[in-house]
Amino acid sequence: MRVYLGSDHAGFELKANLISWLREAGHEPVDCGPASYVPDDDYPVYVMRAARGVADDPGSLGIVIGGSGNGEQIAANKIPGIRAALAWTEETARLARQHNDANVLSLGARMYSDTDALGFAKVFIETPFSQEARHARRLTMIADFEKSGELPPLPGTA
């Protein structure tokens, strides 16, 4: 599995650990930066490149990392075709894939241990989308909005 990664200073060390783990697990990590620790860097520069990599490479996944993961999730979700989910437990990582077919995982390096973060990433990468009709229907609504800018119709009005 090709996995695009981007972080800021707060996620720099965790990103390096994730890249090592991904390689050891037989995945293909793509480091979108930063290449070195810069204490006041700006996460959108790197996170949006990782998300763009995922959007341009069907079948790949992404992991974006910051202090809380919130800003990184927001930035990644600005790239059309990206469904970035913030995980704080293995279950939230699993559900992001099973129910939402999330293609980018957002992690908060200051929110939990590296061991926990690696566990969330492992679950995220190994969990497939469920393909359940209700989940697919909801994703279609989101994709349609992304293309047209029109909100989904209210129930009973279509």
Annotation marks residue 135 as catalytic: no
Annotation marks residue 126 as catalytic: no
Which pLDDT value is given to residue 157? 87
Catalytic residue among 27, 72, 146, 150: 72
Q: What are phi and psi of 119, to 5 degrees?
A: -65, -40
Give the fold, CATH level 3, of 2-148.
Ribose 5-phosphate Isomerase B; Chain: A, (3.40.1400)
Summarize pLDDT for 42-84 with one digit per residue, the tens.
Answer: 999 999 999 999 999 999 999 999 999 999 999 999 999 999 9
Q: Is residue 158 predicted with pLDDT exceeding 80?
A: no
Which pLDDT value is given to residue 152? 96
Which pLDDT value is given to residue 5? 99
Catalytic residue among 27, 28, 90, 99: 99
Which pLDDT value is given to residue 87? 98
Summarize pLDDT for 84-130 with one digit per residue, the tens.
Answer: 999 999 999 999 999 999 999 999 999 999 999 999 999 999 999 99
| Whole-angstrom distance, CA of residue 121 vs CA of residue 139 | 22
Spell out the domain ranges in the chain.
2-148
Which pLDDT value is given to residue 58? 97
**Average pLDDT, whole number, for the chain?**
97
Edge-to-edge strand ranges of the sheet holding 104-108: 28-31, 2-7, 61-66, 104-108, 84-86
pTM comes to 0.96
